[in-house]
């Protein structure tokens, strides 16, 4: 049975690839093809599940393909199947089939009909890669696909301001989750000295032996996994992004933020449970965060005026309870709770347009006063305080801006002295000098050689921050973001002796994507005359091919699994030592801000209402 696992990845992969070449104006063909692919996957999952039960539900592990291997590093695809995967694949395949069938009529005559179904199949590929992953590297491939497909679906109505703005906001939170996974992989390489699989994590003796001597490393890995789970499942302090993600079409809201994608934080906790099972402090932290999220999200949900926002916060509250169940070790209950919540929220979101119109009519003709509720038993001052806090969503958005994004913007604005000429005249000669010294390290004093990785990674972060806050010249921002990767590679080259082919692997995708993106921006500037980043220009309306090519360049530069840079990032991190958390933090922060800045350039230049349109465009969502 084990060899059949690869077909659960190949079916959506082939489906997505073929859907890209279908004619744009054949709605019936596009929809039939999409739910046929998902239907075949659903049928295969059901038959596989029955056969798996008849064979006494064994744990299956398929070591599929070694993509890259060196003396001390191995990047491999590994697929895994157990009861957690079984529940997620059955629920996921059924709900995706249901939503795809529903979307056939809901999306009828939408200008982006084909684009919607392409993205749904792309999401389904990423979802299956995550739930069938047998190691962190395979999981991370699917994790990245989910992030970009989420961005594309939220910004589906790309001629409106708020969907595009909120898509960038959600991608920013997802980027934090991505880096949590990267740091967890980095620490895992140092803890196990191999590409650890989830099958080996179930070996209690192996895990216990390692954690006995590396307890702080174990706790750090668990906290990074928890960070990713919190961001992906919209738990505190990241809860505010989920209602903003409802700007996409209702079917995508149902499948992403009601049922499947939002529960993947729970999945990664369940999958790694054998690792942090005996870390009591981590389990308490997960339980406390889940409880706080449930209480706060329940209050916020009760005062929402939008039905989709109310469903979003209700789902967040239920996921908080699932976090408590996972922390308590109640795996079966958590899986049942996931399935029930996923089906309920999908149903609620799909019928929400009808319910909203029905309730509006009821308010006009059959109004009934509010019944006595539990809040009325509280002292009035406390009741009103909770009400106002819930109305303001406990200022979660303000908190994120104040303590996360505003400090980055403040730091970037302090770098306004960095003009294009100064970047070329100062940093290029310094980089050439560093290239000479990296091949002649004996010329550098030992203390300086030790400090150079930190200094160079700090320069990379400075370039990223400047690129993040640059508004006037989009090409300069792009150039700075591209150059930052070269400085990171140079920092690692001074940090450890290893084959420079690994650096070349990392930089090959960066260089190709950087050049391609720079050409695209230059082409748009020549055609349109203005590509600053002060506003959304919407140039994809007139230049869809350039927009598509530039999106590919953005994905390649940010480490998406379409270039060797995706593997190179993991390889680069493996050369950051266990006792260098500051260096790892600098590089991780560079990757976070770099990815956000890159997607922001794409959104500002190519999405939104067209800057030269003479027609009135919707500012807010519908």
Residues 179 and 89 in one domain: yes
Q: Which residue, of 344, 362, 380, is where some domain finishes?
A: 362
Domain that residue 319 falls in: 2-362
> What band does 362 get if pLDDT is binned at 50, 70 and 90?
low
Q: Is residue 379 part of a domain?
A: no
Q: Is residue 104 part of a domain?
A: yes
Residues 326 and 471 in one domain: no
The larger pLDDT score, comparing residue 489 to residue 365, is at 489
Q: Which residue, of 345, 362, 379, is where some domain finishes?
A: 362
Q: Is residue 23 part of a domain?
A: yes
Q: Is residue 368 part of a domain?
A: no
Q: What's the CA gap between 262 and 173, in Å, rounded? A: 13
Residue owning tokens 């939408």: 110
For helices 500-528 and 474-495, what crossing angle results, to 10°? 180
Residues 120 and 76 in one domain: yes
- How would you class 512 by CB atoms within 10 Å of its CB: exposed for 0-12, middle for 13-18, buried for 19 or more? middle
Asked if residues 520 and 546 have their Cβ atoms less than 8 Å apart, the reply is: yes
Q: Is residue 162 part of a domain?
A: yes
Q: From 547, 555, 522, 592, select the one nearest 183 (Cα to Cα).
A: 592
Q: Is residue 432 part of a domain?
A: yes
Residues 240 and 315 in one domain: yes
Partners of residue 133 on adjacent β-strands: 79
Rounded to an integer, the average pLDDT of 496-525 is 86
41-50, 169-178, 410-419, 519-528, range with the lowest pLDDT: 410-419
pLDDT at 403: 80
Residues 170 and 284 in one domain: yes
pLDDT at 261: 87
230-244, 383-397, 412-426, range with the lowest pLDDT: 412-426
pLDDT at 359: 66
Rounded to an integer, the average pLDDT of 513-533 is 89
Rounded to an integer, the average pLDDT of 299-310 is 84
The larger pLDDT score, comparing residue 383 to residue 455, is at 455
Residues 243 and 324 in one domain: yes
pLDDT at 554: 92
Q: What percent of the chain has pLDDT over 90?
A: 28
Q: Does pLDDT of 212 surpass 80?
A: no
Q: Is residue 616 part of a domain?
A: no
Residues 277 and 411 in one domain: no
User: Which residues, at least 6 apart from 427, have a Cβ–Cβ distance to it below 8 Å?
Assistant: 459, 463, 483
Phi, psi angles (nearest 5°) of residue 616: -75, 135
Residues 211 and 255 in one domain: yes
Q: What's the CA gap between 360 and 456, in Å, rounded? A: 60
Residues 308 and 406 in one domain: no
Q: What is the DSSP string of 557-621?
A: HTT-TTSTHHHHHHHHHHTS-TT-HHHHHHHHHHHHHHHHHHHHHHHHHHSSS-TT--S----S-
Three-state SS for 470? coil
Q: Is residue 138 part of a domain?
A: yes
Q: What's the CA gap between 481 and 468, in Å, rounded? A: 8
Asked if residues 534 and 471 have their Cβ atoms less than 8 Å apart, the reply is: yes
Q: pLDDT by residue (tens digit) across 573-619?
A: 888 888 888 888 888 888 888 989 999 999 999 988 876 665 555 55
Partners of residue 68 on adjacent β-strands: 75
Residues 413 and 504 in one domain: yes
Residue length of the chain: 622
**E strand or H helix that includes residue 540:** none
72-81, 165-174, 372-381, 530-539, range with the lowest pLDDT: 372-381
Rounded to an integer, the average pLDDT of 339-343 is 92
Question: Cα Rg for the chain, rounded, in angstroms?
Answer: 25
Q: What's the CA gap between 328 and 43, in Å, rounded? A: 34
Residues 411 and 324 in one domain: no
- Bridging pattern class, strands 60-69 and 74-81: antiparallel
Asked if residues 262 and 315 have their Cβ atoms less than 8 Å apart, the reply is: yes
pLDDT at 223: 92
Q: pLDDT by residue (tens digit) across 540-571?
A: 888 889 999 999 999 999 888 888 888 888 88
Number of separate domains in the chain: 2
What are 587's two structure tokens?
């590089």
> What band does 163 get if pLDDT is binned at 50, 70 and 90?
confident
Asked if residues 202 and 271 have their Cβ atoms less than 8 Å apart, the reply is: no
User: Which residues, at least 6 apart from 48, have a Cβ–Cβ distance to it below 8 Å?
Assistant: 1, 4, 8
Q: What's the CA gap between 156 and 110, in Å, rounded? A: 10
Q: What's the CA gap between 57 and 284, in Å, rounded? A: 31
Phi, psi angles (nearest 5°) of residue 563: -135, 165
Instruction: Calculate the average pLDDT of the chain.
Output: 85
Q: Does pLDDT of 31 surpass 60?
A: yes
> What band does 443 get if pLDDT is binned at 50, 70 and 90?
confident
Rounded to whole angstroms, the maximal C-alpha distance in the chain is: 86
Residue owning tokens 């089939």: 97
Residues 418 and 282 in one domain: no
Exposed e or buried b for every residue in 210-232, given b needs 16+ CB within 10 A?
A: bbeebeebbbbbbbbbbbbbbbb
pLDDT at 581: 85
Rounded to an integer, the average pLDDT of 92-104 is 90
Q: Does pLDDT of 60 surpass 50?
A: yes
Does residue 237 have a cis bond before it (omega within 30 degrees)?
A: yes
Asked if residues 235 and 316 have their Cβ atoms less than 8 Å apart, the reply is: yes
Q: Which residue, of 317, 343, 362, is where some domain finishes?
A: 362
> What band does 622 get if pLDDT is binned at 50, 70 and 90?
very low
Asked if residues 211 and 310 have their Cβ atoms less than 8 Å apart, the reply is: no
For residue 191, the 8-state DSSP code is H
């Amino acid at each position: 049975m084990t060899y059949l696992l690869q077909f659960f990845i190949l079916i959506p992969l082939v489906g997505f690839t073929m859907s890209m070449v279908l004619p744009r104006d054949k709605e019936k063909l596009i929809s039939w093809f999409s739910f046929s692919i998902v239907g075949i996957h659903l049928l295969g999952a059901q038959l596989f599940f029955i056969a798996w039960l008849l064979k006494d539900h064994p744990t299956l592990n398929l070591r599929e393909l070694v993509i890259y291997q060196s003396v001390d590093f191995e990047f491999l695809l590994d697929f895994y199947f157990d009861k957690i995967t079984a529940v997620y694949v059955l629920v996921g395949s059924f709900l995706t089939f249901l939503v795809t069938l529903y979307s056939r009529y809901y999306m009828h005559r939408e200008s982006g009909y084909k684009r919607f179904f392409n993205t749904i199949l792309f999401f389904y590929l990423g979802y299956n890669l995550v739930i069938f992953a047998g190691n962190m590297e395979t999981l991370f491939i699917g994790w990245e696909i989910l992030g970009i497909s989420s961005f594309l679906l939220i910004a589906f109505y790309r001629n409106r301001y708020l969907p595009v703005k909120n898509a960038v906001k959600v991608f920013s939170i997802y980027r934090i989750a991505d880096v949590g996974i990267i740091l967890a992989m980095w620490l895992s390489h140092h803890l196990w000295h191999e590409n650890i699989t989830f099958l080996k994590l179930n070996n209690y003796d192996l895990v216990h032996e390692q954690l006995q001597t590396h307890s702080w490393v174990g706790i750090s890995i668990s906290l990074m996994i928890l960070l990713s789970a919190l961001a992906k499942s919209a738990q505190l302090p990241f809860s505010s992004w989920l209602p903003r993600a409802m700007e996409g079409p209702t079917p995508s809201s149902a499948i992403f933020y009601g049922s499947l994608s939002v529960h993947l934080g729970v999945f990664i906790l369940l999958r790694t449970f054998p690792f942090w099972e005996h870390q009591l402090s981590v389990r308490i932290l997960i339980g406390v965060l889940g409880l706080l999220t449930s209480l706060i999200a329940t209050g916020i949900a009760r005062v929402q005026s939008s039905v989709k926002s109310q469903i979003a916060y209700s789902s967040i509250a239920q996921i908080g309870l699932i976090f408590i169940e996972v922390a308590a070790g109640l795996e079966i209950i958590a899986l049942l709770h996931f399935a029930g919540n996923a089906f309920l929220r999908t149903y609620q979101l799909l019928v929400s347009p009808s319910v909203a119109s029905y309730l509006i009519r009821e308010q006009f003709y059959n109004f009934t006063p509010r019944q006595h509720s539990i809040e009325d038993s509280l002292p009035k001052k406390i009741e009103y305080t909770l009400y106002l806090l819930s109305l303001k969503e406990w200022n979660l958005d303000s908190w994120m801006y104040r303590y996360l994004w505003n400090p980055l913007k403040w730091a970037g604005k302090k770098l306004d002295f960095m003009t294009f000429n100064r970047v070329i005249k100062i940093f290029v000669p310094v980089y050439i000098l560093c290239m000479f010294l990296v091949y002649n390290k004996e010329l550098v004093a030992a203390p300086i050689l030790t400090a150079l990785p930190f200094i160079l990674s700090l320069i990379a972060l400075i370039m990223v921050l400047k690129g993040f806050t640059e508004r006037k010249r989009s090409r300069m921002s792009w150039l700075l973001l591209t150059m930052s990767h070269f400085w990171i590679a140079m920092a690692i080259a001074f940090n450890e002796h290893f084959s420079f082919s690994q650096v070349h692997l990392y930089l090959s995708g960066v260089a190709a994507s950087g050049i391609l993106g720079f050409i695209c921006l230059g082409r748009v500037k020549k055609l349109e005359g203005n590509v600053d980043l002060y506003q959304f220009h919407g140039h994809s309306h007139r230049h869809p091919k350039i927009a598509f090519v530039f999106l590919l360049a953005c994905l390649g530069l940010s480490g998406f699994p379409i270039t060797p840079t995706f593997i190179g990032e993991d390889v680069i991190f493996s050369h950051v030592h266990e006792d260098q958390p500051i260096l790892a933090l600098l590089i991780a922060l560079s990757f976070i801000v770099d990815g956000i800045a890159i997607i922001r350039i794409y959104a500002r230049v190519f999405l939104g209402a067209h800057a030269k349109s003479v027609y009135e465009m919707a500012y807010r969502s519908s």
